[in-house]
Amino acid sequence: MKSCSCATLIDLEAESVDVEVNFMRGMPRVNVVGLPSGEIQESKERVKSALISSGFQFPPQVVTINLAPSDTRKSGSHFDLSIALTIALFSYSDIDLSEWYIFGELGLDGVAKDTKAIFPTLLSLRKQGLVKRVLVPQSSVDKVSKIPDIEIYGVPTLSEAIDFFRGTNPLKPLHSNNSQVNKLKVGEDNYYFSTEFELDFKDVFGQLLAKRASLISVAGMHNIILEGSPGSGKSMIAKRLPYILPPVGESELLQIAKLQSLDGKEPTFEARRPFRSPHHTASRGSIFGGGTRTAKIGEVSLADSGILFFDELPHFPKQILEAMREPLQDYKILVSRVQNKVEYPANFLFVGAMNPCPCGYLLSQKRSCRCSDLEIKRYRGVLSEPFWDRIDLYVAMSESSIDDKKGVSSAEMYQSVLKAFKMQIERGQQSLNGRLSDEEMERFIEIDTGGIDALRKASERFNLSFRAINKIKKVARTVADLEESKIVTRSHIVEAISYRKR
């Protein structure tokens, strides 16, 4: 028996597959077992033609190809090359393919071809720490070489792959060329970031409170809603947040690239977290994921590790806003369909922007509101209290004025984010402050007596829920990190309380 490794993509994750081949006496034929899909069943004919074109003579025997584990459904034409090589090298007992991952589709003439499944599959395998050395078509090398810490061998044809393993066609391994210019090393881990600010906060005049809240929001990944009159700068601020988000770790970089690939985009491997902004007319399925028989990824998952921005928040259907409570609380979402149930990641920073009323001028001191009380009640009633309870920061934007001046720039804000990020990681946190569990809060949030007293009084006065109290603690921890304080004090708690919606 001869075997090598390949993999199949199941929803978002790849599962390793052993491709095993054996020859037996009997009427000549090729059998594929192990729950193969239609593409893999069709590969028998492609593999036969490619092998014959490469000079291989099929023995008058039964060729059995087993894809293990046999209880997992396999799909994808990228199994062609691994199947063909195990057949072609079956008689070479000194050639061991068991430590190789081999991917590629074959043409009838033996040309190795790239497929759309190869890149996300290898990304997932690398994230799981399963792959170190891989053989792929030459046309796949440019993309695959962006994946860090794997040894890549590219071949244009099946015959050259056979010669490589026979030792008559030596190939030099290509190591990944993914290099990030800006690197932050904390302990043994590397984090990557960009210092290019295509949209800069210095272009936002005034709005000092909103900028401060935005800094706190990104530094600890705290959900935020900006409310204000039209033209106050809500969308301007939201669109500048992605450029000051915390650095990304290697696992996050791979996750972002995998989601980009599944979204049909070419992964860039830039140290930039995603920014998704669906329109309020988007369907429920496009936002949360859906499909009739097979589940498809939605905006909440494509925003994983980054920002999900809802502009004109109250215009989103109430059922969508209520369904947002699950990912905002659990940082994942389960999509159930007849044939499968898929759990997608949804660990995003939620940013919402809204007017105070349908016309937008309820809070204005310069223009009068023309909305009736009933219209205002209906407009604001779309956002339920449980939804608000999952929001960490709320900011009422001030009106713009001719006297407003430029404030802090994105570069200056980002230096504060880096300091706060480093403090959180050096404390031993696996997640940023906004994502701390109850157990982690006990470990990492130390509050002095003045802070505890302020929190107790606020809880009694505003009738805060347990979730709201915890969110105040987390926001206060981020405020303390921005001031490089190891202990959360009264002033930090008071500032965190000031951002609660009341």
pLDDT (0 to 100) of residue 208? 92
Residues of the chain with pLDDT under 70: 176-181, 291-295, 337-339
pTM: 0.85
pLDDT (0 to 100) of residue 402? 76
pLDDT (0 to 100) of residue 445? 97
pLDDT (0 to 100) of residue 339? 65
Q: Which residues make Cβ contacts (< 8 Å) with residue 367, sequence separation at least 6?
A: 229, 361
The per-residue pLDDT for range 228-276, each reduced to its tens digit, is: 999 899 999 999 999 999 999 988 988 888 888 878 787 878 889 999 9
Token digits for 47?
């593999």
Report the C-alpha gap between 182 and 194 in whole angstroms. Answer: 6
The backbone torsions φ and ψ at residue 361, rounded to the nearest 5 degrees and listed phi first, read: -115, 25
pLDDT (0 to 100) of residue 423? 96
Other CB atoms within 10 Å distance of the CB of residue 29: 11
Report the C-alpha gap between 169 and 160 in whole angstroms. Answer: 7
- Cβ(246)–Cβ(417) under 8 Å? yes
Position of tokens 């993509």? Answer: 9
Q: Which residues of 78-90 are buried (b: 16+ CB within 10 A; e: fewer)?
A: bbbbbbbbbbbbb
Count of positions (residues) in the chain: 502
Beta strands in 197-254 (DSSP E): 224-227, 248-249
What domains, with CATH codes, occur in the chain?
2-175 (3.30.230.10), 186-427 (3.40.50.300), 436-502 (1.10.8.60)
Closest alpha carbon to 255 in 331, 337, 154? 331
pLDDT (0 to 100) of residue 118? 93
CA 397 to chain centre: 30
The CA distances from residue 214 to 40, 183, 235, 242, 420, in Å, are 50, 24, 12, 11, 14
pLDDT (0 to 100) of residue 417? 97
